[in-house]
Amino acid sequence: MTGRPRPPDGRPGRYGVHETWETDGSTVGGYRLVRSLGRGGFGEVFLGEAGDGSRAAVKVLHASWAGDAEMRRRFAAEVEQARRVSGFCIAAILDADPGAEQPWIATEFIDGPTLQRAVAQDGPRRGAELQRLAVNTATALAAIHAAGVVHRDLKPENIMLAADGPRVIDFGIARAVEATSVTASGIIGTVGYMAPEQLEGARLTSAVDVFSWGAVMVHAATGREAFPGPTRASRIARVLSGEPDLDGVPEELLGTVRTCLDRDPRRRPDARTLVDHLITGAPLVAVPEPTVVDPGEGPLPPTLAYTAAAPAPAPVPYTPPPPGEAPPYHFAGVRYTRPGDLAAAMQEQWAQAAAVFEDPDARAALGTWITDDLRDTTVDRALFRTRRTDADLAVATFVAQTRPDLPPRFRGHDVSPDTLRSFFAAAPSAAPAEAGGLARPGILRQLSLHHGEAARGLAAPAAELEAAGRAAAAFGEELAEQLDGWKDGRHAAADPALLLAFVLDPGRVRRPAAPPGTAAAQWIDALWKRVDASEGAARAGCAAVVHSALPLIDGLVRRWEEPERRGAQREQELRTLRGDLAFYDKTATRLVWLGGTALACLVLAFVVLPGMTEGSGSGWAGFVGLCLMVGLLSPLFVLFAHIQARVRVGNGERRRRLRQRLRGLEEDQAALVRELHTMRADLEKARALAAAPPRR
Question: What pLDDT, in 10s, does the model give residues 444-461?
Answer: 999 999 998 888 889 898
Mean pLDDT, range 66-84, rounded to an integer: 72
Residue 43 banded pLDDT, cuts 50, 70, 90: confident
Mean pLDDT over 234-238 rounds to 82
The whole-number pLDDT of residue 232 equals 78
Amino acid 342 reads: L
Is the domain 1-109 a CATH 3.30.200.20 member?
A: yes
At residue 308, what is the residue type?
A
User: pLDDT value at position 348?
Assistant: 93
Segment 123-133 mean pLDDT: 93
Comparison of pLDDT for 83 and 544, the residue scoring more: 544
Strands (E), 329-381: 329-331, 334-336
Q: Considering only 200-209, 395-404, 522-531, 586-595, which range has the smallest mean pLDDT?
A: 586-595
Res 147 pLDDT > 50: yes
Residue type present at position 305: A
365-374 pLDDT tens trace = 898 898 888 8
Pick the closest to residue 471 from 693, 189, 686, 691 (CA basis).
Answer: 693
Least confident of 259-268, 304-313, 594-603: 304-313
What pLDDT sits at residue 256?
Answer: 95
Bridge partners of 36, per DSSP, are 46
* 121-125, 346-350, 424-428, 518-522: segment of lowest average pLDDT: 424-428
Which pLDDT value is given to residue 20? 40
Tell whether 59 is in a known binding site.
yes
Is the pLDDT at 93 greater than 60, yes or no? Answer: yes
Q: Return contacts of 186-192, CB within 8 angstroms, 24+ apart.
A: 186/490, 188/152, 188/153, 189/152, 189/153, 190/153, 190/155, 190/157, 190/488, 191/232, 191/235, 191/236, 191/239, 191/489, 192/155, 192/225, 192/226, 192/227, 192/235, 192/239
Name the CATH architecture for the domain at 111-169+178-293: Orthogonal Bundle (1.10)
What's the whole-number mean pLDDT along residues 296-314?
A: 31
DSSP-assigned letter for residue 608: I
Q: Given this model, what pLDDT does residue 193 score?
A: 92
Instruction: Choose the weakest-confidence range: 159-168, 284-293, 537-546, 551-560.
Output: 284-293
Q: What is the mean pLDDT of the chain?
A: 75
More confident residue, 436 or 615: 436
Q: How confident is the model at residue 16 (pLDDT cuts 50, 70, 90)?
A: very low
Q: Indicate the range of 10-19, 526-535, 577-586 predicted with least confidence.
A: 10-19
68, 95, 153, 682: the active-site residue: 153
Would the pLDDT of 7 be above 70?
Answer: no
Percentage with pLDDT > 70 across the chain: 67
Residue 133 has pLDDT above 70, yes or no: yes
**What's the angle, vertex CA 344, arms to CA 338 and CA 346, rounded to 5?**
100
Q: What's residue 91's pLDDT?
A: 81
pLDDT computed for residue 19 by the predictor? 35
Quick one: what percent of the chain has pLDDT higher than 90?
19
* Size of the chain, expressed as the number of residues it contains: 696
Higher pLDDT, 83 or 539: 539
- The full set of domain ranges for the chain reads 1-109, 111-169+178-293, 329-461, 464-557+685-691, 562-682
pLDDT at 1 over 60: no
Q: How far is it, in rounded angstroms, from Cα 190 to Cα 236?
A: 10
Report which listed range, 219-223, 376-380, 442-446, is most confident. 219-223
Taking Cα atoms as reference points, which of 605, 598, 604, 600 lies closest to residue 635?
598
Instruction: Tell me the mean pLDDT in the region 583-604.
Output: 67
Mean pLDDT, residues 673-683: 71
- Helix/strand/coil for 506: helix
Measured CA to CA, the distance from residue 390 to residue 358 in angstroms comes to 8
Q: Which of 302-311, 519-528, 658-667 has the highest mean pLDDT?
A: 519-528
pLDDT of 419 over the 60 cut = yes
Q: What one-character DSSP code corresponds to residue 370?
A: I
Please write the tens of the pLDDT for every residue from 545-581. Answer: 888 888 877 777 776 555 556 656 667 777 777 776 6
Buried-exposed string 358-388: b where 16+ CB fall within 10 A, e elsewhere: beeeebeebbebbbebbebeebeeebbeeeb
DSSP string, 120-167: HHH----HHHHHHHHHHHHHHHHHHHHTT---S---GGGEEEETTEEE
Mean pLDDT of 650-678: 69
CB contact at 8 A, 63 and 17? yes
What pLDDT is attached to residue 342? 94
| CB contact at 8 A, 345 and 332 | yes
Catalytic residue list contains 153:
yes
- Confidence class of residue 245 from pLDDT cuts 50, 70 and 90? very high
Lowest mean pLDDT of 234-238, 244-248, 658-662, name the range.
658-662
